[in-house]
């Protein structure tokens, strides 16, 4: 009996020791690459955060995340708060509010409305979605920049903008140039976040390349969504080599092989070890876990955190 107890105790100590060594390996990797600790894009939390902002952020901190990137909230504003209020809350909880997402043009409801995210429980009745007013860079770029600066974030990110025709791309370039100039004056770094359509040819041209080549690097950097880029057939490492230093932010997103949908980081098909090895070429400083339509957000981000710190960056 004593031998069995000793075996169980020692096995537990070995497992704990392995986790500590992995965490040390993760910390050493961050130091070597001059990167900040693991961050979270709050869009991943869906309506969970709007139901209890403080409580949800406390759980995020307990999991181990340090950096935050905010996004649209159904409560309006910054999860129902003013920029300084939200900044004070995150600081109180030991978190760092690094970046904020905003849209590039007026929001339009997709044809047929919103579909439930992959994995959602469609047997439960969901209340209709009523959106609060949403600012956009086309109409409100100066106010958006001013509020981001007031909150003390370092980065302002255009999360999406219409790019379906050459005329839309031309207008997008004008909006991004104007917003980038305002952000630069306010001491912010302005970035663009991709989905998959940026890599789809429009009249023989690739929108992503057009944005990078037609907006000055002084005014526009990129937040590369590794999952969407991979799904679109783009190679993140090749992009880093083609446009070195243009990618200070990353969305660390994984994609399933079967449904080609977001999943927990480390449980899909994206080759993160290869991508992180090229972080210096990218100029990456911050990276944020994101899982669109996460079915169990807090459980999902805990799994992603564990996989990143004990496997991918160990």
DSSP run (H or E) holding 230: helix 226-231
What is the pLDDT at residue 104? 97
* Six-digit token string for 11: 């096995």
What is the pLDDT at residue 225? 98
Residue 249, strand partner residues: 223, 286
The per-residue pLDDT for range 28-47, each reduced to its tens digit, is 767 776 667 899 999 999 99
* Six-digit token string for 36: 């900040």
Distance CA(33)–CA(277), nearest Å, equals 9
Distance CA(184)–CA(247), nearest Å, equals 16
What is the pLDDT at residue 220? 98
First to last CA, the chain: 36
What is the pLDDT at residue 27? 73
Average pLDDT over residues 64-71: 98
What is the pLDDT at residue 132? 79
Average pLDDT over residues 13-21: 44
Q: What phi and psi, each to the nearest 5 degrees, are found at residue 252?
A: -90, 95
**Cα separations in angstroms, 224 against 154, 179, 245, 249:** 17, 19, 12, 7
Average pLDDT over residues 55-82: 97
Average pLDDT over residues 94-116: 78
| Contact of 248 with 283, CB cutoff 8 Å | yes
Confidence of residue 114 (pLDDT cuts 50, 70, 90): very low
**Mean pLDDT computed over every residue of the chain:** 89
| Contact of 259 with 298, CB cutoff 8 Å | no
The per-residue pLDDT for range 169-198, each reduced to its tens digit, is 999 999 999 999 999 999 999 999 999 999
Q: Which of 190, 197, 270 is nearest to 223 (CA)?
A: 190
What is the pLDDT at residue 108? 66
What is the pLDDT at residue 18? 46
What is the pLDDT at residue 243? 98
Q: At what angle do helices 166-185 and 207-214 cross, to 10 degrees?
A: 40
Domain 37-106+132-312 indexed as CATH 3.30.70.870: no
**Cα separations in angstroms, 21 against 18, 39, 96, 274:** 5, 21, 25, 21
Average pLDDT over residues 132-142: 93
**Burial (CB count within 10 angstroms: exposed 0-12, middle 13-18, buried 19+), residue 162:** middle
Confidence of residue 164 (pLDDT cuts 50, 70, 90): very high
Distance CA(236)–CA(208), nearest Å, equals 12
Show me where the domains of the chain are located. 37-106+132-312
Distance CA(15)–CA(21), nearest Å, equals 10
Average pLDDT over residues 101-108: 89
Distance CA(164)–CA(134), nearest Å, equals 22
The per-residue pLDDT for range 240-297, each reduced to its tens digit, is 999 999 999 999 999 999 999 999 999 999 999 999 999 999 999 999 999 999 999 9
Pairing of β 286-289 and β 39-41: parallel
What is the pLDDT at residue 127? 57
* Helix (H/G/I), strand (E/B), else coil: 239: helix
Q: Which of 233, 208, 86, 97 is nearest to 158 (CA)?
A: 208
What is the pLDDT at residue 72? 93
The per-residue pLDDT for range 204-237, each reduced to its tens digit, is 999 999 999 999 999 999 999 999 999 999 999 9
What is the pLDDT at residue 123? 52
Q: Which of 239, 312, 314 is nearest to 282 (CA)?
A: 239
What is the pLDDT at residue 32? 73
Q: Which of 308, 299, 233 is nearest to 30 (CA)?
A: 308
Lowest-pLDDT range of 23-27, 114-118, 152-156, 289-293: 114-118
What is the pLDDT at residue 8? 34
Q: Which residue has the higher pLDDT, 113 or 240?
A: 240
What is the pLDDT at residue 222? 98
Distance CA(235)–CA(278), nearest Å, equals 12
Residue 287, strand partner residues: 250
- Give the CA dihedral 311, 312, 313, 314, nearest 10 degrees: 20
């Amino acid at each position: 009996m004593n031998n069995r107890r000793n075996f169980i105790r020692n096995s537990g100590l070995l497992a704990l020791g392995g986790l500590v060594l992995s965490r040390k390996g993760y910390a050493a990797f961050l130091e070597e690459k001059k990167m900040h600790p693991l961050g979270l894009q709050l869009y991943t939390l869906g309506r969970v955060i709007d139901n209890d902002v403080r409580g949800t952020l406390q759980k995020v901190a307990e999991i181990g995340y340090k950096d935050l990137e905010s996004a649209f909230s159904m409560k309006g504003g910054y999860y129902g708060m003013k920029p300084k209020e939200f900044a004070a809350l995150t600081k109180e909880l030991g978190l760092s509010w690094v970046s904020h997402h905003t849209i590039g043009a007026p929001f339009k409801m997709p044809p047929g409305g919103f579909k439930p995210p992959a994995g959602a429980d469609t047997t439960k009745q969901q209340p209709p979605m009523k959106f609060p007013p949403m600012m956009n860079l086309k109409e409100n770029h100066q106010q958006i920049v001013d509020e981001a600066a007031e909150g003390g974030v370092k980065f302002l990110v255009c999360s999406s903008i219409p790019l379906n025709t050459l005329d839309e791309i031309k207008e997008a370039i004008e909006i991004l140039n104007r917003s980038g100039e305002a952000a630069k004056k306010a001491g912010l770094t302005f970035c663009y976040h991709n989905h998959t359509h940026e890599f789809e040819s429009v009249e023989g041209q690739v929108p992503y390349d057009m944005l990078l080549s037609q907006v000055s690097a002084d005014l526009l950097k990129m937040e590369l969504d590794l999952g969407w880029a991979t799904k679109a057939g783009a190679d993140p490492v090749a992009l880093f080599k083609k446009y070195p230093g243009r990618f200070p932010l990353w969305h660390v997103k994984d994609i399933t092989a079967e449904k080609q949908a977001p999943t927990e980081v480390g449980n899909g098909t994206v080759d993160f070890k290869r991508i992180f090895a090229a972080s210096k070429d990218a100029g990456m400083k911050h990276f944020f876990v994101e899982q669109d339509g996460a079915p169990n957000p807090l459980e999902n981000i805990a799994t992603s955190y564990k996989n990143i710190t004990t496997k991918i960056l160990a």
